[in-house]
Amino acid sequence: MVRGALSGVRIVEFGQLIAIPFATKLLADMGAEVIRVESYTRLELYRLLGFYDNDTSGEWWNRSVHFYEQNRNKQSLTLDLTKPEGRSALLELVSVSDVFAENFTPRVIKNFGLEYEDLRKVRPDIIMVSSTGYGHTGPWSEFGAIGFGTEAASGLSSVTGYRGGPPAIPEIPYSDFTAGEHTAFAIMAALVHRAATGRGQFIDISQTQTLSATVPEALMDYAFNGRTPARAGNRDDNYQLQGTYPCTGNDNWISITIRSDSEWVSLCEVLGRGEWMEDARFVDSAARSRNHDLLDELIADCTRNRDSMELQSALQAVGAPAGAALDGKEMLFNEHLAERGFYEVVEHPADLGMPPLPYPSRPWKFSGTPGTIRSAAPKLGEHNRAILVEALGMSEERFGALEESGVIGTRPTTAKAPPQPTNEMLKQQGLIVRSEPDFKEQVWGRFG
Amino acid sequence: MPEALERLKVLDLTHHVAGPYCAKLLADFGADVTKVERPESGDPARNMGPFAGDDPHPHKSLSFLYLNTNKRSVTLNLKSGEGRSILKRLASGADVVVENFRPRTLPGLGLGYDELSKDNPALVMVSISNFGQTGPYRDYEGSDIVEYALGGLQYIFGSNDREPLKHAYNQAQYKAGANAASAALIAFFHSMMTGEGQWVDVSIQESMASGLRDATSAYTYTGAVRWRQPKASGEIPRSPVRTSDGYVVPITFGGAGWNDTVEFLESDELADERFATAESRVRNAAELDRVIAETFAGREKFDLFYRANRRRGLIYGVVQEPSEVHGNPQYDHRRYFREVDHSVAGRADYPGPPFNMEGTPWRVKSAAPTLGQHNEEVYRGELGISRGELARLAEAGVV
Residue B242 has pLDDT above 70, yes or no: yes
Enumerate residues 6+ apart whose C-beta is below 8 A from A100: A11, A12, A14, A94, A114, A119, A126, A127, A128, A129
- Which of A7, A18, A154, A336 to probe the B interface (max B CBs under 10 A)? A336
Q: Assess contact for A72 and A377: CB atoms under 8 A.
A: yes
Query: CB-CB: which of B160, B214, B318 is closest to A152?
Result: B318
B 105-124: CB under 8 A from A: 113
Query: Looking at CA atoms only, how far is residue A99 from chain B in angstroms?
Result: 14
- Could you give the CA distance from residue B136 to residue A140 in angstroms, rounded to a whole number? 47
- A125 in contact with B, Cβ within 8 Å: no
Is the CB of B141 less than 8 angstroms away from the CB of A320? yes
Query: CB-CB: which of B2, B197, B353 is closest to A209?
Result: B353
Query: Looking at CA atoms only, how far is residue A234 from chain B in angstroms?
Result: 6
Helix, strand or coil, per DSSP, at residue B126: strand
| pLDDT at res. B256 | 81
Contacting residues of A for B190, CB less than 8 Å apart = 5-6, 368-369
Query: CB-CB: which of A173, A174, A429 is closest to B282?
Result: A429
Q: Assess contact for A106 and A130: CB atoms under 8 A.
A: yes
- Could you give the CA distance from residue A120 to residue A97 in angstroms, rounded to a whole number? 11
| pLDDT at res. A444 | 97
Task: Share the mean pLDDT of chain B.
Answer: 97
| pLDDT at res. B255 | 73
A 357-396: CB under 8 A from B: 357-369
Is the CB of A255 less than 8 angstroms away from the CB of B62? no
- A139 in contact with B, Cβ within 8 Å: yes
Enumerate residues 6+ apart whose C-beta is below 8 A from A26: A180, A181, A184, A362, B182
| pLDDT at res. A352 | 95
- Which of A11, A142, A146, A193 to probe the B interface (max B CBs under 10 A)? A193
B 150-169: CB under 8 A from A: 150, 152-160, 162-169
Is the CB of B145 less than 8 angstroms away from the CB of A159? no
B20-41 tens-digit pLDDT: 999 999 999 999 999 999 999 9
Is the CB of A433 less than 8 angstroms away from the CB of B160? yes
- B391 in contact with A, Cβ within 8 Å: no
Listed residue (B390, B361, B395) closest to B378, CA to CA: B390
A100-124 tens-digit pLDDT: 999 999 999 999 999 999 999 999 9
Q: Assess contact for B248 and A169: CB atoms under 8 A.
A: no
Q: Assess contact for A16 and A385: CB atoms under 8 A.
A: no
Query: CB-CB: which of B4, B239, B333 is closest to A139?
Result: B333
- Which of A49, A63, A156, A217 to probe the B interface (max B CBs under 10 A)? A217
User: What is the CA B84 to chain-centroid distance, rounded?
Assistant: 30
ipTM of the complex: 0.98
Query: Looking at CA atoms only, how far is residue A396 from chain B in angstroms?
Result: 36
The sheet with strand A201-206 has its strands ordered as A74-78, A33-38, A10-14, A99-102, A127-132, A201-206, B356-357
Contacting residues of B for A373, CB less than 8 Å apart = none
Nearest CA in chain A to B188: A192
Query: Looking at CA atoms only, how far is residue A413 from chain B in angstroms?
Result: 16
A306: left (phi over 0), alpha (psi -120 to 50) or beta: beta
- Which of A255, A369, A423 to probe the B interface (max B CBs under 10 A)? A255
B67: left (phi over 0), alpha (psi -120 to 50) or beta: alpha
Residue B353 has pLDDT above 70, yes or no: yes
- A353 in contact with B, Cβ within 8 Å: no
* Residue pairs spanning A and B at CB distance below 8 A: 556
- Could you give the CA distance from residue A153 to residue B37 in angstroms, rounded to a whole number? 35
Residue A211's CB is within 10 A of a number of other CB atoms, namely 29
Is the CB of B200 less than 8 angstroms away from the CB of A337? no
Query: CB-CB: which of B25, B225, B355 is closest to A433?
Result: B225
Listed residue (A105, A96, A342) closest to A204, CA to CA: A105
Is the CB of B216 less than 8 angstroms away from the CB of A233? no
Percent of all residues in chain A with a pLDDT value above 90, rounded to a whole number? 98
Listed residue (A322, A425, A442, A397) closest to A85, CA to CA: A397
B 339-368: CB under 8 A from A: 345-346, 348-360
Is the CB of A321 less than 8 angstroms away from the CB of B223? no
Helix, strand or coil, per DSSP, at residue A303: helix
Sign of CA pseudo-dihedral A216, A217, A218, A220: positive
Per DSSP (E only), the strands in A135-206 are 201-206
Instruction: Give the 3-state secondary structure of A369-387.
Output: CCCCCCCCCCCCCCCHHHH
Percent of all residues in chain B with a pLDDT value above 90, rounded to a whole number? 95
Is the CB of A244 less than 8 angstroms away from the CB of B315? no
**A430-444, B246-260, B264-278: which has the minimum mean pLDDT?**
B246-260
| pLDDT at res. A2 | 59
Q: Assess contact for B191 and B9: CB atoms under 8 A.
A: no
Helices A174-197, A19-29: crossing angle, 10 deg rounding = 50
- Which of B61, B67, B98, B141 to probe the A interface (max A CBs under 10 A)? B141
DSSP B343: T
Query: CB-CB: which of B48, B135, B329 is closest to A336?
Result: B135
- B286 in contact with A, Cβ within 8 Å: no
- Which of B166, B277, B324 to probe the A interface (max A CBs under 10 A)? B166
- Mean pLDDT, residues B204-214 taken together: 98
Query: Looking at CA atoms only, how far is residue B210 from chain A in angstroms?
Result: 6
Query: Looking at CA atoms only, how far is residue B393 from chain A in angstroms?
Result: 32
- B326 in contact with A, Cβ within 8 Å: yes
Helix, strand or coil, per DSSP, at residue B26: helix
Contacting residues of A for B198, CB less than 8 Å apart = 366-369
DSSP-assigned letters across all residues of B180-195:
HHHHHHHHHHHHHHHS
B 196-235: CB under 8 A from A: 196-203, 205-207, 209-235
pLDDT band at B69 (very low <50, low <70, confident <90, very high): very high
Listed residue (B355, B367, B352, B357) closest to B3, CA to CA: B357
Listed residue (B306, B289, B284) closest to B242, CA to CA: B289
pLDDT per residue rounded down to tens, chain A (448 residues)? 557 999 999 999 999 999 999 999 999 999 999 999 999 999 999 999 999 999 999 999 999 999 999 999 999 999 999 999 999 999 999 999 999 999 999 999 999 999 999 999 999 999 999 999 999 999 999 999 999 999 999 999 999 999 999 999 998 999 999 999 999 999 999 999 999 999 999 999 999 999 999 999 999 999 999 999 999 999 999 999 999 999 999 999 999 999 999 999 999 999 999 999 999 999 999 999 999 999 999 999 999 999 999 999 999 999 999 999 999 999 999 999 999 999 999 999 999 999 999 999 999 999 999 999 999 999 999 999 999 999 999 999 999 999 999 999 999 988 799 989 999 999 999 999 999 999 999 999 999 9
- Which of B222, B247, B328, B347 to probe the A interface (max A CBs under 10 A)? B222
- B170 in contact with A, Cβ within 8 Å: yes
| Residues constituting chain B | 399
